[in-house]
Structure 1
Amino acid sequence: MHELGIAEAVLDALERRAEGRPVASARVRVGALLHVHEASFAQSFALVAEGSVAAGAEVELVVVPAELACRACGRSSPVTEPVASCPVCGAVAVELRGGDELVLERLAYRPAGQPTG
């Protein structure tokens, strides 16, 4: 379950950004090619965030497709799986861009004194 490693990376980014302030929620942009299963991620995040500034925080995942650029026809197509040919013209001279990002887009802090969970 690679979601555990991704959850740890997200928690690390949250802790660095929060600087000790309690986190209520966050939004993370994740590339489709990372194949993150949302339920597994939520469970993993809850586990790794226990006892941290992000304990009980809600994390929204925004899945971003990769882009397949065809060198033959010049068209670009969003893809969620690596492909070997252009879905428009069938050419194999393609370039895959993105789809592997993991970006902390937003975080919101919990008001002081508000309980976690």
Structure 2
Amino acid sequence: MHELSIANSVVEICAEQANGARVRRVTLEIGRLSAVMPDAIRFCFDVCAKDTAVEGATLEIIEIPGQARCLACGETLDIDVPFGQCECGSENLELISGQQLKIRQMEVV
């Protein structure tokens, strides 16, 4: 489960950036094509945050849908997997969103 190491990294980054302040809320963006399970991140986040400045913080996760651009016709399409076929028949797609995992925002008190 790589979500444990991801959650641990998020907690470490937030605790470091808080400079001793208490972290109240963390907002993550997780792309649906990132192979990261939001429910597993939620569980691991609380475990990793124990005894840190992030303990007790609310974790908000925004799931970003997958999108690709067809390199043949330029059409943008929604995708659930990192491959697919455009309505024009081309399978030559460029992923443009849905793979990201980033800390979007952190609230401290």
TM over 0.5: yes
Name the residue aligned to 1:82: 82
Name the residue aligned to 2:106: 107
* TM-score, normalised relative to structure 1: 0.82
CA-based RMSD of the aligned residues comes to 1.6
- Runs of at least 5 residues in structure 2 that lack an aligned partner in the other structure: none
Task: Verify: 1:35 aligned to 2:35, yes or no.
Answer: yes
Summarize deviations over 1:47-73 as a string: whole Å, max 9, x none.
111101001111111111232110112
Q: Is the 8 A contact 2:24 2:54 kept in 1?
A: yes
Deviates further, 47-56 or 6-15: 6-15
Number of residue equivalences: 109
What is the correspondence of 1:1-117 to structure 2 with a 5 Å cutoff? 1-86=1-86, 88-110=87-109
Q: In 2, distance between residues paired with 1:5 and 1:33?
A: 18
1:14 CA drift (Å): 0.6
> Where does structure 1 differ by over 4 angstroms across 4 or more consecutive aligned residues?
none
- Runs of at least 5 residues in structure 1 that lack an aligned partner in the other structure: 111-117
Q: Is the 8 A contact 2:30 2:38 kept in 1?
A: no
* TM-score, normalised relative to structure 2: 0.87
Structure 2 counterpart of 1:101, which letter?
Q
